[in-house]
Structure 1
Amino acid sequence: MLKIIISIIMVTFIWGYLWVPMKIGLNYMPPFLFTALRLLIGAIPLFIVQAVRKTKLFPKKADWGKLIIMSTLMCLGYYGLSTFVMQFVSSGLSSVLVYTMPIIISVPAHYFLNERLTAKKTTGFVIGAIGLFLIIGPQIKHLSFDRTVLGEDLIVLAAFFWACA
């Protein structure tokens, strides 16, 4: 059990910290170029692994439509939009807001994936929604719709694209 807890803590810190290099990288290049390079650099080891394992490099023709939809949702909708938003919102707030994806996906999963909303899931959904409101609420309360609020809304939209994918 301790090993699991330590693993969860490590993943939390690593995934949370990844937003800092993104914010720094935006000082040197535009957001969509940064995202494209990030995904390309990540794809190269995957292609090498496929070549070493001698598996097919490209999918079957029947799978291309689904892959294009998934790629658009993930690469443009999630990665591209979340990197773009980093220009307006702090890296810490971005990482918190984009990980609202489990809150966002809980309702569609109930209807499309037959994952029933149990009492525990509903409680988690409500607590998460309250937390999200506490983060975004002060700006909405004062109607100070500036670039930060737009960024917060767009990062939640990026989480929505991630949930759709």
Structure 2
Amino acid sequence: MSTQSAPSRAHPNPAAKQKPLSGLFLVCVVVAICIWGGNWPVMKIGSQFISPLWFAASRFFSAAVLSFLIAFAIGKLRLPTRREWPVVIGVGVLQMGLFTALVTGALHFVMPGRASLIAYATSIWVVPGAALFLKQKLSGQQSLATVCSYAGMAVIVLPALLHADLHSMIGYLMLGAASLSWAMNILQIKLTPGVKLDFDLLPWQTLVAGLPLCVLAFVFEGAPVFLLDHHSWYVIAYTGPLATALTFLIVLQMTQRLSPVTVSVCMLGVPVVGLTLSSLVFGETLSPDLMLGMGLLCMGLVLPALPSFGWRRVALKG
């Protein structure tokens, strides 16, 4: 088991040490957003024959098995250090297990298009959380991006909430709780400097998410009979190895290398992709409010990447 030297007690200045983000990393971010956007229609399809807890359990348990095998094969399998375990548990419980269980449950009540926006609206919680716990002040660029994101979310979500019945409201509340769970983990990661979120920790994060979900699924939903349906294996192959083992590694790197506000704004690209694909797959109408909201969200996504501002200036200052 490898060890890490204890970090200095002096509060580091990440902005001073941060390297410019490479073109390859930015491409990976776009790929991750597209994969997670596509995951929403896939989860909606899978929810027709896989129960919520088993859906979440199969996603992370399959990702755990794959990541453990890969880590062993490339010589990166190790136990997390004492300092790393809280982050491993936080990612596994808050961002992976709880978030996914709530989302897959909510998809039994609502359509994936608008639902994806509510689940990924972490900026609702992250912006005040970053100001309160991290003492972060928004730059003009971040402020404008955040305003566009909030406006886009309001345009898309409020009409749905105003016309929601009790059945739909349950789904929306579950999605709001999922969003809060992820936001808490984003802030936890930023409050834990010195822990590097590389592939070494991914097997344990997915295991922390997968094992409790498997136990809960056995207790509340019985045996995994869905495995007898060959269609479930296609869904699990997408949501597990692709949308978890690969994509979470990219997103966790984003969480560590960018400011919490920037991460939460970038993640709104996922529902933009999800809404578009949902309209194609399920015929979810792209009404004028959805188009306006998506336009505002896209503005919020583009602003941090404008060349005149540069990505380096979105780094969290210590």
Amino acid at match of 1:107: P
2:133 equivalent to 1:133: no
Structure 1 residues 31, 53: closer, same or farther in 2, change over 3 A?
A: same
Question: Helix, strand or coil: the match of 1:100?
Answer: coil
Structural mapping, 1:82-121, within 5 Å: 82-121=103-142
Match for residue 181 of structure 2?
Answer: 161
Q: Identify unmatched segments of 5+ residues in structure 1.
A: none
Amino acid at match of 1:38: R
Could you tell me whether the CA contact under 8 Å between 1:47 and 1:57 is conserved in 2? no
Amino acid at match of 1:67: V
**Deviation, structure 1 residue 11:** 4.3
Higher share of residues assigned helix: 1
CA displacement 1:16-49 (0-9 Å, x = unmatched): 1111111111111211111110011112221122
Amino acid at match of 1:94: A
Amino acid at match of 2:145: G
Of structures 1 and 2, the one with the larger relative CO (CA 8 A, separation 6+) is 2
Could you tell me whether the CA contact under 8 Å between 2:118 and 2:157 is conserved in 1? no
TM-score, normalization by structure 2: 0.45
TM-score, normalization by structure 1: 0.80
Question: Helix, strand or coil: the match of 1:115?
Answer: coil
Q: Percent same amino acid among aligned pairs?
A: 24
Question: Helix, strand or coil: the match of 1:18?
Answer: helix
**Deviation, structure 1 residue 73:** 0.9
2:170 equivalent to 1:150: yes
**Deviation, structure 1 residue 150:** 2.5
Match for residue 68 of structure 1?
Answer: 89
2:74 equivalent to 1:53: yes
Match for residue 26 of structure 1?
Answer: 47
